[in-house]
Structure 1
């Protein structure tokens, strides 16, 4: 699981065996701790059940008002979420053709790849204009 800060390009990542509500909340805690308390954090998410679960909503309800703002992509609209493109490029460049002996080694390689990406972040700009298709 990961998120990209659109202003800085930094990737916040967490590697877990599963992607349930508790793991997603762990990522939210990681992101929450990375920013000053009065900063609004806007997330673009797909409709994965962990993102909309009762447990996740309860955790978000206990955060200060306005801390997290969630926007959900439409079904089959993952291309709207920059992290999906990042995952694709990351898999092709960092994870392609590697052999690992364990899940632990895979996790270490993924986090090492993230650590290599973050010192030289890519700041993405959205250039698609709806007026061009209308």
Structure 2
């Protein structure tokens, strides 16, 4: 197996994200928002062909192993690090560049008075797209030449676009995790809760029902279970 080259900015990115997490509540008091974002793709709407057999004395619950596939849905979700809640969620058939941009636009619309947005996400290509750079530049009121995608300027490549999006002087600041470091993204912990509490044993007769149940669970979580994750990792590089 060929391993990907190590991220040359690994320590810098890890320390940056840990600092953002550890100061999220303090930043929230100043009107800043710290949001962890990612997509959960391929969520299957599976319907069991027969109902479960309930537990009996000396016998565990038994589940039907055959199922009917009704398609999949994609969840794009934003987790508020300081509040411990899902700030916004989008459920649909795709996770395109346009879907992601629309999700971020809806997120910022929930709090127009926020003084700054810190957005933590992985380095997927749709998270470093041309449309995001143009949107941020417009939102920041920057009247500058962004260049041409694939040819010049800030739009030239993913590294150049990422550098622009990470600018700490912007109101919207992107914080990218290093490659293969999903453990740094707090929304991944929430996805684990979603799987255990809803998806692992659920039965869905359609994509529409899956979408409804996902959104209902998010509402239930925010009302009854939400609290900030206790982040203890300080971001110090491990040395022998």
What TM-score does the superposition give when structure 1 sets the normalisation length?
A: 0.90
RMSD: 1.7
Distance 1:79 1:110, change over 3 A: same
* Cα deviation 1:42-82 (Å, max 9, x = unaligned): 01111112111111221222113633110100110000000
Q: Select which of 52, 65, 68 maps to 2:128.
A: 52
Q: 1:1-134 alignment to 2 at 5 Å?
A: 1-11=76-86, 12-64=88-140, 66-120=170-224, 121-131=226-236, 133-134=238-239
List 4+ stretches of structure 1 deviating above 6 A.
none
Q: Distance in 2 between matches of 1:72 and 1:132?
A: 17
Unaligned stretches of 5+ in structure 2? 1-75, 142-169
Unaligned stretches of 5+ in structure 1? none
More helix by share: 1
Q: Which has the higher contact order (CA 8 A, sep 6+)?
A: 1
More strand by share: 2
- Size of the aligned set, in residue pairs, is 134
